[in-house]
Amino acid sequence: DIQMTQSPSSLSASVGDRVTITCRASQTVSTNLNWYQQKPGKAPKILIYTASSLATGVPSRFSGSGSGTDFTLTISSLQPEDFATYYCQQSYSSRWAFGQGTKVEIK
């Protein structure tokens, strides 16, 4: 099965900061890589699909890049509502897998 590894597991940042989260797959997933945001007590929401496509209604400060095994989620200017946990997820294989999550906290 394909394993997904995110880094860092957590980070502290200030409003206005540029934030980058990385996701690595144990084997190629092509561009079958998605990013989700989850806030405490809530269900996850799609942010980015197929590595770089912005989901409907998601602010343009969010962007995704990468292909193969290495991917990046970037928040260009962190806003108060962006403090949350972010997960990458591969849909390349029939058994999907999520990364362990990256918690973005207020500095």
Partner 1 sequence: EVQLVESGGGLVQPGGSLRLSCVASGFTLNANWMHWVRQAPGKGLMWVSRINTDGSITTYADSVKGRFTISRDNAKNTVYLQMNSLKDEDTAVYYCARDRNFCSSVSCGRWVDPWGQGTLVTVSS
Name the minimum Å distance from CB 1 to partner 1: 7
The DSSP output letter for 15 is: T
Shortest CB 36 distance to partner 1, Å:
8
Compare residues 17 and 30 and give the one whose CB is closer to partner 1: 30
- Residues with Cβ within 8 Å of 46's Cβ and at least 6 positions away in sequence, in order, are 34, 35, 36, 55, 58
Task: Decide whether 18 or 72 has the Cβ nearer to partner 1.
Answer: 72
Residue (9 or 77) nearer to partner 1, CB: 9
**In the complex, which residues of this chain contact partner 1 (CB under 8 A)?**
1, 30-32, 34, 36, 38, 43-46, 49-51, 53, 55, 87, 89, 91, 94-101
CB of 14 to partner 1, least distance (A): 25
Nearer to partner 1, 16 or 41 (CB): 41
Q: How far apart are the first and last CA of the chain?
A: 36
The DSSP string of 23-83 is EEESS--TT-EEEEEE-TTS--EEEEETTTEEPTT--TTEEEEEETTEEEEEESS--GGG-
